[in-house]
Amino acid sequence: MIRNATQIQDAATLHYRETRPLSTANQMGSILIKSGRLTAGDTELILREQHKYRQRFGETGVALGLLTAADIDFALSSQFAYPYLRRGESSVSEEVIAAYDPFSKQVEALRALRSQLVMRWFGAGAQRSALAITSAERGDGRSYIAANLAVLFSQLGQRTLLIDADMRRPRQHKLFGIENRSGLSGILSGRNAATDVQRIEALMDLSVLPSGVLPPNPQELLGRGAFPQMLRDFSTEFDVILIDTPPDYDYADGQTAAARAGAALVVARKDNSHVGAIGNLVDSMKHSGVLVVGAVMNEY
């Protein structure tokens, strides 16, 4: 017969290990207590009921009304090294939904896109690491797609670098809550070094190179030999390099960046993009020798 809390803990831990062979330090209860989602007293109650009815810890907590499905998802993500953020506790914008709501339908659609990119480009056999994210017009959601894809590739365990090559109206520093006093423009003009890359500590294996000070000649900077050399240097440090570019309708920067990367993903937006503009962009890139790995219709 079990007489005290210590024995209850030991018995419940034994059952938990039988159903989920993880170390005690990584158990769901410990994770939820540390995150403030569960108290020690509630954990003891769940463990007691868990042992009594031979259920999983999470199932028991939900049945008792002490845990929610979101709590369980959070704990499981920690156990399996799949971290995501809690709203209101990070400087990362909530537009980066892959960082906040990785189990939503929107993120599942983005995961499907990531899988296609792995099959069509990154996993095609050759040493390929860079991909430009382009769009025909402003407002197509290119930066949104680039930011969320970067998070998803990092969650896959890939060392991921997101470069903001939109030196006209950059957004990635705002999306990830980082400074933009120096970055890509400084590297390409020879004024700064690759140390301007900023690690996003809250997200596994993700780094961002912001645009830096807005230059008067962004297209010329992207056309210099320093840009492809920079990509080659980064390819030894990162598995995936995503490049956010300006819209093609206004500037030729995107095609220049895509030519340097070797391939591009074209983003269009439902009820916003024009078919003719998209067709012109794809044709122009193909004539420039850029492989268009695909196009995605963004509804968000």
Would you state the pLDDT for residue 223?
92
Would you state the pLDDT for residue 12?
39
Would you state the pLDDT for residue 17?
37
Residue 46 CA from chain centroid, whole number: 34
Q: Which tokens in the block code for residue 51?
A: 């042992």
Give per-residue pLDDT as tens, 234-280: 999 999 999 999 998 778 898 999 999 999 999 999 888 889 999 99
Give strand pairing partners of 244: 133, 164
Low-confidence ranges of the chain (pLDDT < 70): 1-26, 79-83, 124-126
Q: Which tokens in the block code for residue 16?
A: 């938990």
User: Angle between the 142-155 and 105-117 helix axes, to the nearest 10 degrees?
Assistant: 80
pTM of the model as a whole: 0.78
Would you state the pLDDT for residue 80?
66
Residue 67 φ/ψ, nearest 5 degrees: -135, 160
Beta-carbon count within 10 A of 251 CB: 17
Would you state the pLDDT for residue 15?
40
Would you state the pLDDT for residue 7?
42
